[in-house]
Amino acid sequence: MESTLPKEEKQVQYFSKDFEYEDHLKQESEKLSHLLDKLSLKEYSLDQQMEIQQIAQESWDEFYKNNQDKFFKNRNYLSFAFDLITKHIEDNQDKEEKLYLFEVGSGTGNTIVPLHDKYNSVMRFYACDFSQNAVQLLDNLKICEKAFVKDMVKGDLVEIDDDKLDFVTMIFFLSAIHPSEHPQVINKIAQKMKKGGSILFRDYGAYDLAMMRFINKKKGIIDLDKMIFQRGDKTLACFFTIEKLVEVMGQNGFECVQQEYCTIENKNIKRNLVMRRVFINAIFQKQ
Ligand SMILES: C[S@@+](CC[C@H](N)C(=O)[O-])C[C@H]1O[C@@H](n2cnc3c(N)ncnc32)[C@H](O)[C@@H]1O
């Protein structure tokens, strides 16, 4: 992965309000209520759902073995989406100590690389992922003080000292974890953060195009009410509402200080397709 600044920074445009989320929600939930009669849904017990969670590690590792660092693009828009980082740095300019940022579920570094490019003079980076292949690729870049293999669902986070972190980036990570595991994963992270530290969150929102595709294709629907799905490659994909997210974060010691549904419309003119993506951007502060 190449360093992306400063040339690309000028080209970054941050899209977040291409359409009204409330209108989209109304339209898509109406469509869904018509579809529901035609869906004969298989029921998965919690044990079966946990098995799906278990096999995800192998699937992600296989994914990175096949795709290396070529699948996801660097998320150059993040420092624009979360201008809080810039503000925090400005406010702390006079301090000598470095800031610590931990990217949980880092993959090969598409989040951490652009943040490192921009903030490495004042920040130190930790990263983990449960895919050995992904961590190896990230470690090769030599931008992290620590990049380690870790299944966040299992065991303690002993690799990081308590109360160490100023920022945690949780970018398309929590959606890969079964919701019944969310509280303990969030709790583990909370322990490692300073009071007042922030989780920067971006992930799939309810009624995103990807969720509607599972439903339209009647494939991979694990629990429709809880919006849990399984992709063809056996990885898990959960979708969030802001309410649910704020609730689970709140129960584990975080206050929501910023939240929005980001709505992005992509057009494929050749195929006459309009694709409506919905993501949630939020910032949670440790109390
Ligand atoms: C969609 S990728 C996002 C990667 C990265 N955050 C980014 O911005 O591109 C989700 C990542 O979460 C990792 N992951 C999923 N479940 C995990 C778990 N239980 N523990 C650690 N990492 C996990 C996957 O291996 C994958 O790299």
Q: Round to whole Å and give the CA distance between 192 and 266.
A: 38
Atom of ligand 1 nearest to the CA of 181: 19
- Residue 72 Cβ < 6 Å to ligand 1: yes
Mind spelling out the 3-state secondary structure of 214-260?
HHHHCCCEEECCCCEEECCCCCEEECECHHHHHHHHHHCCEEEEEEE
Residue 105 CB coordination number (10 Å): 24
| 159 contacts 100 by C-beta, under 8 angstroms | no
- CA of 258 relative to ligand 1 center, distance in Å: 23
Q: Tell me the whole-structure pTM to 2 decimals.
A: 0.92
- CA of 148 relative to ligand 1 center, distance in Å: 13
Pocket mutation for ligand 1, best pick of 78, 153, 173 (most atoms within 8 Å of C-beta): 173
- Residue 129 Cβ < 6 Å to ligand 1: yes
Sequence-ordered alpha helix ranges (H) in 7-73: 7-11, 21-36, 46-67
Q: Round to whole Å and give the CA distance between 158 and 174.
A: 20
Instruction: State both tokens at 28.
Output: 């898509």
Please report the pLDDT score of residue 2 as a whole number.
Answer: 43
Report the nearest-CA residue for atom 3 of ligand 1.
172
- CA of 107 relative to ligand 1 center, distance in Å: 5
- CA of 285 relative to ligand 1 center, distance in Å: 22
From the first residue on, what is the mean pLDDT of each consecutive set of 10 residues in the chain (287 residues)? Answer: 46 77 94 82 89 91 91 85 78 81 97 93 95 97 97 96 97 97 98 96 97 93 95 96 98 95 92 92 95
- Residue 21 Cβ < 6 Å to ligand 1: no
Instruction: State both tokens at 140.
Output: 């090769």
Please report the pLDDT score of residue 281 as a whole number.
Answer: 94
- Residue 111 Cβ < 6 Å to ligand 1: yes
- Residue 153 Cβ < 6 Å to ligand 1: yes
Q: CATH homologous superfamily for 7-286?
A: Vaccinia Virus protein VP39 (3.40.50.150)
Report the nearest-CA residue for atom 13 of ligand 1.
105
- CA of 61 relative to ligand 1 center, distance in Å: 10
Please report the pLDDT score of residue 1 as a whole number.
Answer: 40
> Is 174 exposed, middle or buried, given 0-12, 13-18 or 19+ CB atoms closer than 10 A?
buried
Preceding omega of 179 cis (within 30 degrees of 0): no
- CA of 169 relative to ligand 1 center, distance in Å: 11
Domain extents for the chain? 7-286
Please report the pLDDT score of residue 3 as a whole number.
Answer: 43
